[in-house]
Each structure stands twice: as C-alpha cells, then as structure tokens.
C-alpha cells in the first residue's frame, strides 16, 4: 500500500461511531508532533509505518475541540475485542482492541515509538485534566489493537 492509498482511506470504529478521514502530520522544529487539523480528522505521522508493514500504526485524534466532542470523544468506551478497521482502496485491515491505558503526556511517547511484535494500531487522544493556561490536557488515553486479518 502506498501512503497516498492509505491517506485516501478512512478509520472506522463501529462501536463508537467513528468513520473518519486521515491526514498526514509531522513533527515541528521542537520535536513536537503536530495536532490533527480538525474535529473529525485522524492524524497519521509520516515517520510511522503504514498498515500491512507489520509495525505500529500510530493515529491521533482530538477528544474535543472548541468545547464540542471530536472524533475520539468516546475512545474510552472501547473494550478488548472491539474492532478497529482501516479501510483503503481495495482493502480493509481489521484490528482487535487488546489494551487501554491512561498515561501522563510525558510518559505517552512510548506509545508512538515502542517496537511491537505484531502489527498494531495505536490510537491516542487527550485525557485527564484540562489546563486552560496551556490549552492542553495532563494525560493521554492510549488504545492498542492488533491485526486480525
């Protein structure tokens, strides 16, 4: 699969009503990962693997934006065994949720860079306490799902 085919696809999570487009984001000059550009879009980072490459496909989405629920507003409702599907031109990649964790923002980087034994989708959104002065949350909610097809 090419990057273009992947980015033309969608992330589908039936249990929480997600059917969202992808966009490519990168890391800024300070090494900070860019945020998704909008409420309904899911960010993939160009230094991460694509589906079918056997790695950790890392995807980020907003919990809320401008006070309204966003694409990953119900991420905490997922349970082990729930399906995460990446739909692209001509192929659907199915993953099954295996874990959910809440971690501090500082500790959450491992979810992006840890090697995995099986192809995995890692989903991340904000969690914890909102800090108005920084416009950010204290924690991150991290869901992992392994490839099943």
Q: Could you give all domains of the chain from N- to C-terminal order, each with its CATH number?
A: 3-147 (2.40.260.10)
What does the pLDDT read at residue 113?
79
Could you read off the pLDDT tens digit of each residue along the chain, which spans 149 residues?
A: 899 999 999 999 999 999 999 999 998 888 788 999 999 999 999 888 999 999 999 999 999 988 899 999 999 999 999 999 999 978 999 999 999 999 998 888 888 878 899 999 999 999 999 999 988 899 999 999 999 99
What does the pLDDT read at residue 66?
84
What does the pLDDT read at residue 17?
97
Query: 0.85 cut: is pTM over it?
Result: yes
Query: Do residues 44 and 24 touch, judged by C-beta distance below 8 A?
Result: yes
What is the rounded distance in angstroms from the CA atom of residue 72 to the CA atom of residue 65? 11
What is the rounded distance in angstroms from the CA atom of residue 79 to the CA atom of residue 60? 18
């Amino acid at each position: 699969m090419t990057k273009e085919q992947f980015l033309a696809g969608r992330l589908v999570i039936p249990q929480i009503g997600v059917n969202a487009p992808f966009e490519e984001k990168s890391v800024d000059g300070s090494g900070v990962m860019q945020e998704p550009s909008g409420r309904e879009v899911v960010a993939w980072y160009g230094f991460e693997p694509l589906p079918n490459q056997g790695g950790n496909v890392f995807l980020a989405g907003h919990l809320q934006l401008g006070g309204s629920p966003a694409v990953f507003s119900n991420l905490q409702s997922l349970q082990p065994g729930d399906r995460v599907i990446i739909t692209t031109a001509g192929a659907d990649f199915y993953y099954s949720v295996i874990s959910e964790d809440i971690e501090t923002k500082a500790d959450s980087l491992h979810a992006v860079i840890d090697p995995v034994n099986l192809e995995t989708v890692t989903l991340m959104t904000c969690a914890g306490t909102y800090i108005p002065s920084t416009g950010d949350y204290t924690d991150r909610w991290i869901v992992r799902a392994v490839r099943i097809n």
